[in-house]
Structure 1
């Protein structure tokens, strides 16, 4: 569902999945990267994370090592240790209390607002 949101907004996206080489949506199939180390331009990439906290921390450590500058930690993906690590090691972090959803900042609920805050004119990029 999260991948579909980025697809519907015509944003460049590379899913990270160590167990599948591709993920198919009804209208497009995306090749995956096994880890942040395999992203084509990690220093120009932001991660939208949808993993449990223990997995998230390891993912953030890999992302930080290759220069990923920003992360969006979806509800349920973080605990205090993950938040502390993210705020210490990334230029920009979206996570925690806030947004319009009752569980905090979520791309499915707050994505358009996040894009506008980042200065992305997503309305001109719709499919």
Structure 2
């Protein structure tokens, strides 16, 4: 899993779904954390045209040139729709936010795998790794939720 996450972070074009107009969401933090080291990031929010000083897109298919991966910080129901969009656009990497109010559900993981989409969370590996993600990585390894 570590290698898969690190390999995923070598891709340049990453969409972040669930970026908030208020700027106060985990998706906004992830967007900035991925943008700062040089990824081409694309905020996705159907209710905005610009967020964090960047053009914002209503969905994955509307991003010109496509993306290599998608981070979703949305409800499980919205994440299910994003899985469909990723499958239709040939996106093979989906990173589902797993904290409180998680985007993760068994159904989204199953749908992703059936569509050939890799699921994971690269934020546990994107340097500098914050204390929250270090703790989650440790806990997921301890409990077996993070495959070796």
Q: TM-score, normalised by structure 2?
A: 0.59
Q: Is the 8 A contact 1:71 1:90 kept in 2?
A: no
Give the CA RMSD over aligned residues: 2.1
Show the 5 A alignment for 1:1-127. 1-24=29-52, 29-42=53-66, 44-75=67-98, 76-94=102-120, 105=121, 107=123, 109-112=124-127
**Does the Cα contact within 8 Å between 2:74 and 2:103 map onto a contact in 1?**
yes
Which structure 1 residue ranges, 5 or more long, are not aligned? 95-104, 114-127
* Cα drift, residue 87 of structure 1: 1.4
Give the aligned partner of residue 118 of structure 1.
none
Deviations 1:13-64 (A, max 9, x none): 111111000112xxxx11011111101122x421011111111001111221
Residues 87 and 117, structure 2, Cα contact 8 Å, conserved in 1: no
- TM-score for the superposition, normalised by structure 1: 0.68
* Secondary structure, aligned partner of 2:95: strand
User: What's the CA shift for 1:5?
Assistant: 0.7
Equivalent-residue separation in structure 2 for 1:90 and 1:48 (angstroms)? 16
Distance 1:64 1:7 in 2: 24
Query: Residues 45 and 89 of structure 1: is their aligned pair in 2 closer, same or farther, counting only changes over 3 Å?
Result: same
CA drift of 1:111 comes to: 2.2
Paired with 1:40 and 1:77, the residues of 2 have a C-alpha distance of: 25
